[in-house]
Amino acid sequence: MIGVFDSGVGGMTVAKAIEDLCPQLPLLYFGDLARSPYGSKSTEVITACSCRNTDFLLSQGAKAVVIACNSAAAAAADTLRRQYAVPIIDVVSATVEKAASVSAAGRIGIIGTRATVRSKVYEERLQAIRPGCQIVSQACPLLVPLVEEDWLDKRETKMILRRYLHPLRERQIDALILGCTHYPLLGDLIQARVGRKVRLVDSSAEAARHLKEFLDKNPQIGSNMAEQGRQSRFFVSDSTGPVQRLADRIFSRPIHLEKVDV
């Protein structure tokens, strides 16, 4: 089984992208809703949560772990790789490669939580693989609560997006990293605001693509015959009404959320 964790349900956009790319692959998903959101918290707290989440997924039989949360990938991916023997796939590494390759002008925007933007992980990795590119980062802390409230079509959401995206438009970016797994749900609004010429790089889709490449190269991890036909399971450390609705919406089907104490 492949483990996938996020602070909440945002990472389900990654799980859904994996399901679309690798329909036979059963997943173990864990959403840490008892401690969500991560994006407003410190590196130290996010790292402690990420270790606990990984312990849980391994205890359930995960053979590889996908960090489906940009804030956790930015804060804790290096620590997890040092501390755990299993392969760790993270949403940030996958996304950086794509963004560097699709930007013609080398002017790349990044939107994410405070924790992701503060970490500068996207800037540093982009500069490493495409030296000299211009990068504009913008923390968008209100977008996660707006998505979690399902305010996707509200006027206020559009106004707040306009405010956040204005500095990126000013700098004439030609690629924009959606550096939070909640943001694909706002993809159309974001595309409309930045214009069709700006290429959106969806970190959820890129993480799924990266996992698939990894499994193609390491077939022993995904191909355990005993696991074929097993169903994906979705665990959460807390559960309330809007979360269920959002999960069902992301998968376009009813998702059974199993509450666990972690």
Chain residues in the site for its own copies (CB under 8 A):
33-36, 40-42, 44-45, 114, 141-142, 145-146, 148-149, 151, 155-156, 159-160, 163, 237-242
Known catalytic residue: 69? Answer: yes
> At residue 123, what are phi and psi to the nearest 5 degrees?
-55, -50
How many other CB atoms are found less than 10 A from the CB of residue 18?
27
Residue number, 99 or 165, with CB nearest to its own copies: 165
Q: Which of 37, 202, 31 is nearest to 110 (CA)?
A: 202
- Whether 108 contacts 134, CB under 8 Å: yes
**What's the token pair of residue 86?**
């299993």
CB of 43 to its own copies, least distance (A): 10
The single residue of 22, 49, 51, 69 carrying the catalytic annotation is: 69
CA distance 168 to 162: 10
> At residue 106, what are phi and psi to the nearest 5 degrees?
75, 25
At 112 the three-state DSSP class reads strand
Known catalytic residue: 49? Answer: no
CB of 68 to its own copies, least distance (A): 20
**What's the token pair of residue 11?**
């990472």
Residue number, 140 or 194, with CB nearest to its own copies: 140
Residue number, 21 or 34, with CB nearest to its own copies: 34
CB of 145 to its own copies, least distance (A): 5
Residue number, 36 or 204, with CB nearest to its own copies: 36
CB of 256 to its own copies, least distance (A): 17
Tell me which residues are annotated as active site. Answer: 69, 180
